[in-house]
Every structure is written in structure tokens, then in C-alpha cells.
Amino acid sequence: MSVPFERLIVVPSEVSDEQACQVSLNPVTAYALLDEARAAPGQWIVLTAAASTVSNMVAAMAQARGIGVIGLVRGPAAAAKPRCSTDHVLSVDDADLVAAVAAITGGDKPVALLDSVGGAGVVKLFALLAPGARVIAYGVQDRSVIELTNATLIYANLTWKGFGIDRWLMECPPDEKTRMFAGLWQMIANGTLPLPVAATFPLVRFQEALEADAVPGRSGKVLLSV
């Protein structure tokens, strides 16, 4: 098997194999999503699926930059809170979600929504956002049809775009990639970027690894060793 040279990643010696093997997908995706959010220190962003691995990584990176993060979950927020890195966790089912967000932010509306869920429910979240905010769609947990008129986007001046990590990496300048990996390795080294491992299996037990990976609510990645 051959790998394009530009996709190779130099790993610092102090980083373990268990950490290094995870960096090329979720940490890079989280970094890119935060880049797409274009949030400045002191501003707020909103994440759906707040208990997910990527959301927790985005939250860690945002907090390190002084960006406020509100995590949204489906179902009771209290039950999901222990699995979320965000300081604030709300349920999308809250009766008055707009007021709940305003109470957290002091009235400052979030400048971005990073959404990995989709579906019909995402449209009501647009009301949380500041004029000119960005909505970044990067997942399809809910495949239900979305009903939306242009007016919703026009009058709030929202930008709603799809995100794929391969395209982002293709368009990312080399110097930005260098800065990205330097920042990721630093966060991994000082423990501020969570890279939990749920279980490790030898390659010959890949079927057991697949079964472990499918366990709902697992904490951390399932890895294969050779």
C-alpha cells in the first residue's frame, strides 16, 4: 500500500502510538471546524451532538482560545453533561432555548453553529444565532427532510455551508497545516486535548473490535494494534 507524501504526518517522539493514530481524523476535523466557525475570543459558538468526540475536541480547542461554547443534546441535558466538555449543556427540547442561551451568554448571540445532526430540527436553532452567523453542517445523524425558505437565511444574513475534511485539507495552505499540527501536538502533550481510548484489540480480533465500536455511549476510540 502506498500513501501520498503530502498525507504523511511527522509525529513527535513524546506522543504515544495510541494518540498519534487518532490525530489525522477527529482532531484535524475539530480544528478545521473551529477554523470554519471564524469565532474570535470572547464570542460564542453552539455545537450539536455535544457529547460526541468531535464536539468535545472542538470545545477544548475553543476554550483554549477564549471562545465560549454551548453544547446541545437531544434528550435531558443533565444525563449528557458528564460526557460533554462544554461548560454549558442544553437540550434542544428545552421549551425556550433562545432564552436559555441568552441567559448563558449575557445576551450575546452565538456567531456559529456547528451541526452534525441535521434534520428538520436544525432550522429552529437558527433563531439562536447572531446576524451574519455561520452554520456549518458536517454530519447526517438525522436524515429527515428540512423545510426552509430563503427568507430565513436572507433576513438573518446567515451563511449555511457543508463541510468535508478532505476538501478542507486540499485547500489548506502548507503553512496553516504546519501551525495546525504544532498546536495539536502541544495540546495532546499538555493533556488539554482529550484522546480517550475505550479498548485496544490485536488485528486478528477485528470482529470483536467492531462489536466494541458499536456499543452505544462508549467513551473513547476502539483501536487495532499490529
69-84 residue pLDDT tens: 999 999 999 999 998 9
115 pLDDT above the threshold of 70: yes
Q: Using a pLDDT cut of 70, give the percent of the chain over it.
A: 100
CB distance 142 to 120 below 8 Å: yes
- The model's confidence at residue 7, banded by pLDDT at 50, 70 and 90, is confident
| Coarse DSSP helix, strand, coil percentages of the chain, rounded to the nearest 5 percent | 45, 15, 40
Say how many residues make up the chain: 226
Q: Which helix (H) or strand (E) holds 57?
A: helix 53-64
**pLDDT tens profile 158-200:** 999 999 999 999 999 999 999 999 999 999 999 899 888 889 9
Q: Where are the beta strands (DSSP E) in 65-203?
A: 68-73, 88-91, 112-115, 134-137, 159-162, 197-202
3 pLDDT above the threshold of 90: no
Q: Where are the beta strands (DSSP E) in 63-133?
A: 68-73, 88-91, 112-115
> What are the structural domains, with CATH classification, of the chain?
26-166 (3.40.50.720), 196-226 (no CATH)
* Predicted TM-score of the model (pTM): 0.91
pLDDT at position 1, please?
Answer: 64
